[in-house]
Amino acid sequence: MPTILVVEDNDDINELLKTILVSHYQVIQAYSGTEGLAYFHNQAPDLVLLDIMLPGKDGGQVLAEIRQSSNIPVIMLTAISDKKTVTQYLLNGADDYISKPFDEAEVLARIQVCLRNRQAPVQSQLSFCDLELDEETYQLLCCGQAVQLRLKEYDILKLLFNHPQQVFTKEQLYASIWGQDYLPGDNTLNTHLSNIRKKIKKISPNHDYIETMWGLGIRLKGKE
């Protein structure tokens, strides 16, 4: 029986979710972001229902830490009606979201879909031009030669590979990879992008696969 970790600080909502789920799943209850992360690391649940507004670490911080080590399905619980905010959580790695107040059938259906998708075979390699990104080894192949990546470098490339035509602003990239707001003058993202470019250019010096569109953002660049 799959295990669901419910991270929700409202006692009534937490108990309601347990009542909905307990006939179908093992249920672990947490009431703060910090407690939720402790259960995540120690209990290895199969899916997390994660409230956005939490004491301790908020839902965004919890999601970011989970994504540093796991692709476990995460469904956000939110009373926020701002679609832009919800979309950002999806870009940051959430698999789905459920709006409060929620319907029992909807909760069960969304969990079932996420668990089913997790069990489905996934593509282990992403390709773009002469580049291949291996999702199992966290390794980049450039023209058939291996390029070792740091975790954040891999995360940046994976996001770009999954959306090869999309232009990402620095704010979007930083929020998606680090789970925090980008502050002007912060050179962290530029440093990682520069490192990726240098590693690739050692193998393929005549093509810049990552294009900076001045005033717009970053995207993958195909060969002319």
What gap in Å lies between CA 181 and CA 128, rounded to an integer?
28
> Considering only CA atoms, which of 129, 148, 121, 122 is closest in space to residue 137?
148
91 & 181 share domain: no
102 & 133 share domain: no
140 & 201 share domain: yes
Q: Is the pLDDT of residue 143 over 90?
A: no
pLDDT average, residue stretch 39-44: 90
Mind listing the pLDDT tens digit for each residue in 182-201?
A: 787 778 888 999 999 999 88
Please give the single-letter amino acid code of residue 215. G
16 & 86 share domain: yes
Look at the block and give the residue holding tokens 């891999």: 154
Dihedrals phi, psi of 122, to nearest 5 degrees: -115, 150
9 & 45 share domain: yes
Q: Would you state the structure tokens that stand for residue 147, as one six-digit string?
A: 């390029």
What pLDDT band is residue 1 in, cutting at 50, 70 and 90? confident
Q: What is the four-CA torsion angle of 121, 71, 196, 217, rounded to 10 degrees?
A: 100
pLDDT average, residue stretch 43-55: 92
71 & 10 share domain: yes
Q: What share of the chain is helix, strand, coil (3-state, %, to 5)?
A: 40, 20, 40
138 CB-side CA count, 13 A: 12
Number of domains comprising the chain:
2
27 & 97 share domain: yes
Q: Are 209 and 115 in contact (CB under 8 A)?
A: no
203 & 179 share domain: yes
104 & 17 share domain: yes
| Distance separating the N- and C-terminal Cα atoms of the chain | 52
What gap in Å lies between CA 99 and CA 134, rounded to an integer?
34
Which runs of consecutive H residues, i.e. helices, occur in 22-131?
A: 33-43, 59-67, 83-91, 104-119
80 & 97 share domain: yes
pLDDT at 124: 56
pLDDT average, residue stretch 76-86: 78
Domain CATH for 199:
1.10.10.10
pLDDT at 121: 47
Mind listing the pLDDT tens digit for each residue in 97-131?
A: 898 888 999 999 999 988 887 764 445 568 888 88
Taking all residues of the chain, what is their mean pLDDT, rounded to a whole number?
Answer: 86
Q: Of 73, 89, 119, which closes a domain? A: 119
Q: Are 173 and 159 in contact (CB under 8 A)?
A: yes
Look at the block and give the residue holding tokens 């440093």: 191
Q: Of 119, 143, 160, which closes a domain? A: 119
Q: Of 119, 154, 179, which closes a domain? A: 119
Domain CATH for 67:
3.40.50.2300
Q: What is the pTM of this model?
A: 0.56
What gap in Å lies between CA 23 and CA 14, rounded to an integer?
15
20 & 88 share domain: yes
17 & 75 share domain: yes
pLDDT average, residue stretch 193-219: 87
User: Residue 183: which domain range?
Assistant: 127-220
